[in-house]
Amino acid sequence: MGEATSTCPQPARLVMTQSCLTLRPATLADIGAVMAIERSPDYERYVARSDEEEHRAMLGSATHAYRVGVGESGAVEAFAVLRGLGDPHLNLYLKRIAVARPGQGVGAAFLSLVLDEAFGPMGAERFHLDCFADNLRAQRAYAKLGFTRDGVLRKAYRQADGTRTDLVMMAILKAEWEERSSPVVI
């Protein structure tokens, strides 16, 4: 495979907005809010959890980017952890995403902002994720944003109780996102 000529940098202090949500890089001060969201009882089955030390390490890593969605009140309403900054093939991986109040459209708005940054300033060509095969709600939400199903990793994740579950791989390409995001001219 040929080498790509650029990498995925982590823009400093980028702030993007959509309706009542502002996307910004997370800081150490946001770790408490991130941990509270990922520990929501609604997410016990589907969202992995990290302790404060793990969050600090990932937040300080050159290969990770933390983004938070801040509401009008200033509270953190959503977070995303991206991995793959500096990837020579310009792939970004969504390691984790969650919102404080699911089912209110915040997740789609937040992920749209994350994708705008990923395919814009971060320079990604491909954005991918995996989710539990039985998490149909998440798969539908990703599909509505243009993600396609790339395959299944069979029994790839060991849960806390020791059982194994399949992971569905999904991705969206920069060209697909730009096509969805561009206005239609009639």
Mean pLDDT of 149-161: 95
For residue 10, pLDDT beyond 70: no
pLDDT value for 86: 95
pLDDT higher than threshold 70 for residue 131: yes
Whole-angstrom CA distances from 30 to 34, 37, 55, 56, 84 are: 6, 11, 10, 10, 21
Alpha helices in the chain (DSSP H): 31-38, 52-59, 106-119, 136-144, 174-181
Specify the CATH number for 16-127; select among 3.40.630.30, 3.40.50.720, 3.40.50.920, 3.20.20.10: 3.40.630.30
Among 6-10, 89-93, 150-154, 161-165, the minimum mean pLDDT is found in: 6-10
Residue 184 banded pLDDT, cuts 50, 70, 90: very low
* Rg of the chain taking only CA atoms, in angstroms: 16
Q: Is 64 helix (H, G, I), strand (E, B) or coil?
A: strand
* Residue 49 to residue 61: CA distance in whole angstroms: 18
Q: What percent of the chain has pLDDT over 90?
A: 75
Which of 27, 40, 141 has its CA nearest to residue 94? Answer: 141
> Where along the chain do its domains lie?
16-127
pLDDT for 24-57, tens place per residue? 999 999 999 999 999 998 888 888 899 999 999 9
Confidence grade of residue 15 (pLDDT, cut at 50, 70, 90) = low
Q: What is the pLDDT of residue 182?
A: 60
pLDDT band at 58 (very low <50, low <70, confident <90, very high): very high
Kindly indicate the confidence band of residue 3, based on its pLDDT and cuts at 50, 70 and 90. Answer: very low
Looking at the predicted structure, is the pLDDT value of residue 69 above 90? yes
| pLDDT of 20 above 90 | no
Among residues 85, 61, 84, 69, which one has the least CA distance to residue 30?
69
Position 74 scores a pLDDT of 93
| Predicted TM-score of the model (pTM) | 0.86
**Higher-pLDDT residue of 125, 8:** 125
